[in-house]
């Protein structure tokens, strides 16, 4: 029993080490940019072990990008403060060092990786739309789409392009600027101010 446990825990530890290294490098360089050799070197371990553990680079990527948006952390339903909550939650996904970076990796890889796109669509359908539906099920898909348009564009400018006014702005300013827009989209959002 103990025997089995120890053996498992050894391999499980390197498995987690590989996953952690993979996530960091996929985050920094995307699917194509991060090579198996680089990931292995950062662990450090032989590149062939990565294949032994995960079967292929593609499978490693799939295992490294299991995304849970953790909307259940919102607890009792927010209601009219949803805009601020959503954007704070979204910023955490990128700025928390120990976050799993899953969504960030997918977004960075989405331009040239069909699997990343598919996963983002799944997350949208299975996690974002249900949340927005709780506010009002009418046209929830459209409103959810408007929200992620703004959030993804913000992430693109702030974290990927590093466009100076957006990337240099303190977090609180971002919340104050985009929170009301998200709120507006969340509750309907077809008319102007």
Q: Which stretch binds DNA (CB under 7 A): 9-17, 97-105, 140-148, 170-178?
A: 9-17
Binding at 37: pick from a second copy, DNA, none (beta carbon under 5-8 Å per type): DNA
Torsional sign, CA 155, 157, 163, 164 = negative
Q: How many residues does this entry show for the chain?
A: 193
Binding at 96: pick from a second copy, DNA, none (beta carbon under 5-8 Å per type): none
Binding at 189: pick from a second copy, DNA, none (beta carbon under 5-8 Å per type): a second copy
Eight-state DSSP code of residue 97: T
Task: Report the chain's C-alpha Rg in angstroms.
Answer: 19
> 44: cis peptide before it, omega within 30°?
yes
CB of residue 9 to a second copy, shortest distance in Å: 36
Binding at 142: pick from a second copy, DNA, none (beta carbon under 5-8 Å per type): a second copy
Distance CA 87, CA 39 (A): 31
Site map (CB under 7 A) of DNA, residues 35-54, x = contact = xxxx-----xxxxxxxxx--
Stated as kind and residue range, the H or E segment containing 32 is helix 2-33
Return the number of the residue (78 or 189) whose C-beta is nearest a second copy. 189
Q: Single out the residue of 45, 50, 73, 74 nearest to residue 60, CA to CA.
A: 50
Return the number of the residue (11 or 190) whose C-beta is nearest DNA. 11
DSSP string, 111-153: GG-HHHHHHHHHHIIIIIHHHHHHH--TTHHHHHHHHHHHHHH
CB of residue 47 to DNA, shortest distance in Å: 4
Return the number of the residue (37 or 112) whose C-beta is nearest DNA. 37
CB of residue 99 to a second copy, shortest distance in Å: 19
Which residues bind to DNA, rule: CB under 7 A? Answer: 2-3, 6-8, 10-11, 14, 34-38, 44-52, 56-58
């Amino acid at each position: 029993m103990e025997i089995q446990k120890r053996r498992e825990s050894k391999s499980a530890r390197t498995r987690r080490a590989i996953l952690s290294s993979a996530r960091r490098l996929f985050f920094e360089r995307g699917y194509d940019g991060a090579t198996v050799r680089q990931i292995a070197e950062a662990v450090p371990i032989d590149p062939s072990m990565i294949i032994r553990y995960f079967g292929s680079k593609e499978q490693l990527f799939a295992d490294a990008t299991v995304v849970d948006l953790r909307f259940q952390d919102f607890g009792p339903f927010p209601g009219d403060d949803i805009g601020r909550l959503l954007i704070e939650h979204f910023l955490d996904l990128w700025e928390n060092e120990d976050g799993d970076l899953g969504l960030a990796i997918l977004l960075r890889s989405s331009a040239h990786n069909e699997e990343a796109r598919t996963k983002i669509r799944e997350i949208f359908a299975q996690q974002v739309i249900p949340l927005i539906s709780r506010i009002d099920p009418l046209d929830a898909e459209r409103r959810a789409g408007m929200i992620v348009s703004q959030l993804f564009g913000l992430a693109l400018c702030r974290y990927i392009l590093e466009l100076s006014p957006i990337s240099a702005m303190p977090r609180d300013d971002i919340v104050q600027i985009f929170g009301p827009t998200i709120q507006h989209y969340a509750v309907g959002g077809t008319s102007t101010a």
